[in-house]
Structure 1
Amino acid sequence: MQNDISGLNDIASILSNLILNTDSYKASHYLQYPPGASAMFSYIESRGGRYDRTLFFGLQMLIKEYLCRPVTPAMIDQAKAFFTGHGEPFNEAGWRYIVERHGGYMPVRIRAVPEGSVVPTHNVLLTVECDDPQVFWLASYLETMLMRVWYPITVATQSWHLRKTIRGYLEKSSDDLTQLPFKLHDFGARGVSSAESAAIGGSAHLVSFMGSDTVLGVVAANHYYNETMAAFSVPAAEHSTITAWGRERETDAYRNMIAQFGKPGAIVSVVSDSYDLFAALEVWGTELKQAVLDSGGTLVVRPDSGDPQTIVLQTLRALETSFGSKVNSKGRRVLNNVRVIQGDGVNPDSIEAILAAMDDAGYATDNIVFGMGGALLQQINRDTQRFAMKCSAIKLGDEWHDVRKDPVTDAGKRSKKGRLTLLRNRHTGEYRTTTLPVAWDDHTVEGDWDEALVTVFDSGKLLVDVAFSDVRARAHAGEG
């Protein structure tokens, strides 16, 4: 009898079907475990990578979106039709059991470090345990979905480290550290692979910054983390709004931007390289200078082509010649009424190089804002921080057994063994991964070490619903 595959035409329901949110080979794994298996324990870690510390963020989004919704009989029928036609076995009895016994919710326990925590690599960040003997394999089946937490963690980690870089230059050259949250603006929405990526990655960036043009990222942070408004933006020109006036009316296009948006205290960003950046800088400093001054706002000029380090300095010098500058208490010059936003060729290396060049030239970091696109949300992958999720223990009958991967060809892929947790020293803040004691609960302590993992999800229930403000506070608790 051929399976009815009509339900496979509804792509929206397929994408929301947790049973199908996996890898194909996972469907056959329930037949591959040793006899008597009754429980399983898995964990996620960063095995190193570009940065030596990771900022944990994004699990709450995944849990709310995928694990707080029950599997239904219709989903099982849909998955059965797919896997049968796909060439894989399907554990229909196991999924029916989940619906009948657990109301369709996953009988798994997820423990994780609080979101916003900054943890050295090679430590457990998240654990998954299933102790229902009928469906113990869920602790591994959910790997595909849960492992995608690598993406918001990696974006959040990169932005956290970039905040440290920018903060260092502000402390050296500026009198105003309050501008730090607006120094790296998210330009990445159009450069990612999907709307979901824009939402997840865009919200992760906002743990460290408060400027974004990635609307879906702001919406996601607001929605999943109980925030009123996680980020802000300003009116800004794009090339089409300038070139639509024609080259001969470029000055009119600029004048219109000031007329429309130039108000006391306002910020107006104008891309100025549609034709000749240096000619545009001359116009801003002569014909339009008084309009800028009279507006009471701040003009932000965006040079959008050329070598970033060279162009930023040339732009600053031209604007300083026209608008002047003041010397702050750090001996650095701050331009009057104007700033620069660099949004082309921006990545961790170029940010460092531009800030260093500005400092060498005597300019304060006040003078620049960065807009980061592809390098912020797209030019990373799971190997950037070498994320992995592995099974580390399995229960056979009534006894737990350690499980470990230890390939002779690559010691870097050696996994941890046992039922694991993360401890934090209450005095030094140091983290340490260790195995759980036989008699254990969420409040177990060991000398000066406290449990760093908390149970955030258990059998369909979200137990921790953190606010975005708390994530931010935790991520930047060490800042002076």
Structure 2
Amino acid sequence: MNLLDNLLLNTDSYKSSHFLQYPPDASGMFSYFESRGGAFAATVFFGLQIILKDYLSKPITAAQIDAAAEFWRAHGEPFDEAGWRYILAEHGGHPPVTIRAVPEGTRVPGHNALFTVECTDPRVYWIISHLETLLVRVWYPITVATQSWEIKRLIREYLIATSDDPEGQLPFKLHDFGARGVSSGESAAIGGCAHLVNFRGTDTVSGILAAREYYGEPMAGFSIPAAEHSTITAWGREDEAAAYRNMLRHFAQPGALLSVVSDSYDVFNAVENLWGGALREEVVQSGATLVIRPDSGDPVAVVGKVAEILDRRFGSSVNGKGYKVLRQVRILQGDGVNAHSITAILERLQALGFAADNIAFGMGGALLQRLDRDTLKFALKCSAIRRGTAWLPVSKDPVTDPGKRSKAGRLSLFRSETTGEYATLPLVDGQPPGPEWRDAMETVWERGRLLRDWSFAEVRARAGRFV
């Protein structure tokens, strides 16, 4: 038995003692999950379905309860063994919780509930607290999807300003290079999948597989043949041109794309005298599009200079908006890429008269790893306790940090039928607070059953709205 797959142990240590800490007449619990602000004004909700399918779809077993009882005893924490055996006997091993959430891919302003969790079984109402650790981990795919969406919006603005085909260009403008820069294979899968909500380019294979496994998408992302430094330097400095020619021989077919890292020695010499000199006619005659990848130096200065050399050597056409589009060559910047450098690079290219069509970006650790739960200040908080038969609103309101003030009551996210604005409001007898408001949440999980199985196409369609 793998103890890491045991739901009873998939929590924080102190959670195991919480069943003894609530009021003795407590009989139900209600909690909500929100972003309390942070780096972006709104969040793209994504990834809860992965957690539900991976962790809550499998019923607990008697063997897992036995193993957990032994673990908690040795660990020094109390354990409601009888409560878990009750879940096994009365609920078929599934925690008796109801989860309501906004549809995945929905973009919701911060400080609003994204999902709620409720348990009304008096015997095990505390299960909400136990599941908090697991459920809060949805912060990760939400944060990746949100950052990716914000960068997509940024690139889109430059494409609208400089490109004749902004929407056609956009899906492949930010490529995921993050698989090697994350903490685990699971992070690569979840984060890589979250990025694919917004873009179609990736080298993170596990992200594609996650989209297939959890959202039924046969092929969510695409890549092209590409060189790395070892495949260039293995030829030796004196045969740099031969290494590039080998790439052309294998991959340069009419209509094809190939990416070649070109800074192993001197990127400007490579672009000017090798690609733009000795190999120029081979590139032109191949009918392929050659993507040059600088991989060192100041990204803004290097990309600008490479674009000017490529323009001089391969030429360009002027599009309908008055910007140059390079002939048969493009640039891929994959080093030092983040929202700030992307903005600076696109500004430089626009100032030089180049359309955003000419460049794509590869983003690694900054896309999938350089973020945490506080990037968007996520928290799951109890907002109502049932005492006997009555629901009572509860909240925290620390005098030392008003930003951590939580909401009270049994809540849902609503959208105004007149303004379209979102608001998190208390339910009134389980119903919307008034005729103006439409409930924006749906019941996605109930007592071991997944009630809404979102497809990746549905998620992408929601996230693709820029209004």
Q: TM-score range by the shorter chain?
A: over 0.9
Q: Alignment partner for residue 98 of structure 2, among 86, 96, 109?
A: 109
Alpha-carbon displacement from aligned partner over 1:50-105 (angstroms, at most 9, x marks no partner): 00010000000000000111111111111111111111111110111111111111
Would you say the 8 A contact 1:445–1:451 is kept in 2?
A: no
Q: Give TM-score, length-normalised by structure 2.
A: 0.98
The DSSP-based 3-state class of the residue aligned with 1:390 is strand
Matched, 1:377 2:368: yes
Q: What is the aligned partner in structure 2 of residue 6 from structure 1?
A: none
Q: What is the aligned partner in structure 2 of residue 296 from structure 1?
A: 287
The DSSP-based 3-state class of the residue aligned with 2:193 is helix
Alignment of 1:270-281 (within 5 A): 270-281=260-271
Q: Alignment partner for residue 423 of structure 1, among 411, 414, 418?
A: 414
Matched, 1:54 2:32: no
Residues 1:478 and 1:58: Cα distance change in structure 2 (over 3 Å): same
Residues 1:360 and 1:57: Cα distance change in structure 2 (over 3 Å): same
Would you say the 8 A contact 2:427–2:433 is kept in 1?
A: no
d(CA) in 2 for partners of 1:396 and 1:271? 65
Q: Alignment partner for residue 330 of structure 2, among 324, 330, 339?
A: 339
Alpha-carbon displacement from aligned partner over 1:281-314 (angstroms, at most 9, x marks no partner): 1200011111111111100000000001001001
| 1:402 to partner: Cα distance | 0.9
Amino acid at match of 2:237: R
Q: Alignment partner for residue 408 of structure 1, among 399, 418, 422?
A: 399
Q: What is the aligned partner in structure 2 of residue 3 from structure 1?
A: none
Matched, 1:126 2:146: no
The DSSP-based 3-state class of the residue aligned with 2:28 is strand
Q: What is the aligned partner in structure 1 of residue 384 from structure 2?
A: 393
d(CA) in 1 for partners of 2:31 and 2:195? 28
Alpha-carbon displacement from aligned partner over 1:16-70 (angstroms, at most 9, x marks no partner): 1111110000000001000111000001000000000100000000000001111
The DSSP-based 3-state class of the residue aligned with 1:62 is helix
Matched, 1:165 2:149: no
Q: What is the aligned partner in structure 2 of residue 174 from structure 1?
A: 163
What stretches of structure 1 move > 4 A for 4+ residues in a row?
none
d(CA) in 2 for partners of 1:131 and 1:316? 63
d(CA) in 1 for partners of 2:452 and 2:339? 33
d(CA) in 1 for partners of 2:96 and 2:391? 19
Matched, 1:309 2:321: no
Structure 2, unpaired ranges of 5+? none
| 1:445 to partner: Cα distance | 7.0
Q: What is the aligned partner in structure 1 of residue 210 from structure 2?
A: 220
The DSSP-based 3-state class of the residue aligned with 2:73 is helix
Q: What is the aligned partner in structure 2 of residue 251 from structure 1?
A: 241
The DSSP-based 3-state class of the residue aligned with 1:180 is helix
d(CA) in 2 for partners of 1:151 and 1:401? 31
Alpha-carbon displacement from aligned partner over 1:378-409 (angstroms, at most 9, x marks no partner): 00000000001110000010011111111000
d(CA) in 2 for partners of 1:439 and 1:411? 29
Q: Alignment partner for residue 322 of structure 1, among 307, 313, 317?
A: 313
Alpha-carbon displacement from aligned partner over 1:139-172 (angstroms, at most 9, x marks no partner): 1110000000000000000011111000000000
d(CA) in 2 for partners of 1:398 and 1:308? 63
Q: Alignment partner for residue 358 of structure 1, among 349, 353, 365?
A: 349
Q: Alignment partner for residue 220 of structure 2, among 218, 222, 230?
A: 230
Q: Alignment partner for residue 265 of structure 1, among 245, 252, 255?
A: 255
| 1:478 to partner: Cα distance | 3.6
Structure 1, unpaired ranges of 5+? 1-9
Alpha-carbon displacement from aligned partner over 1:239-273 (angstroms, at most 9, x marks no partner): 11111111111111100111101111110000001
Q: What is the aligned partner in structure 2 of residue 447 from structure 1?
A: 435
| 1:427 to partner: Cα distance | 3.9
Amino acid at match of 1:455: T
Amino acid at match of 1:46: S
d(CA) in 1 for partners of 2:181 and 2:309? 31
Amino acid at match of 1:373: G
d(CA) in 2 for partners of 1:353 and 1:478? 22
d(CA) in 1 for partners of 2:419 and 2:163? 31
The DSSP-based 3-state class of the residue aligned with 2:344 is helix
| 1:426 to partner: Cα distance | 2.9
Matched, 1:146 2:135: yes
Matched, 1:14 2:3: yes
The DSSP-based 3-state class of the residue aligned with 2:29 is strand
The DSSP-based 3-state class of the residue aligned with 1:434 is strand
| 1:447 to partner: Cα distance | 1.8
Q: What is the aligned partner in structure 1 of residue 201 from structure 2?
A: 211
Alpha-carbon displacement from aligned partner over 1:211-259 (angstroms, at most 9, x marks no partner): 0000001110111011111010000001111111111111111001111
Alpha-carbon displacement from aligned partner over 1:95-133 (angstroms, at most 9, x marks no partner): 111111111111000000100100000000010000011
d(CA) in 2 for partners of 1:446 and 1:408? 32
d(CA) in 2 for partners of 1:88 and 1:347? 44
Matched, 1:37 2:26: yes
Alpha-carbon displacement from aligned partner over 1:344-364 (angstroms, at most 9, x marks no partner): 000011111111111111110
RMSD: 1.0
d(CA) in 2 for partners of 1:115 and 1:430? 18
Residues 1:445 and 1:395: Cα distance change in structure 2 (over 3 Å): closer
d(CA) in 1 for partners of 2:213 and 2:312? 46
| 1:448 to partner: Cα distance | 2.4
d(CA) in 2 for partners of 1:325 and 1:356? 19
Matched, 1:240 2:209: no
Amino acid at match of 2:152: R
Aligned positions, number: 465
| 1:439 to partner: Cα distance | 4.1
The DSSP-based 3-state class of the residue aligned with 1:142 is helix
Amino acid at match of 1:361: L
Amino acid at match of 1:41: F
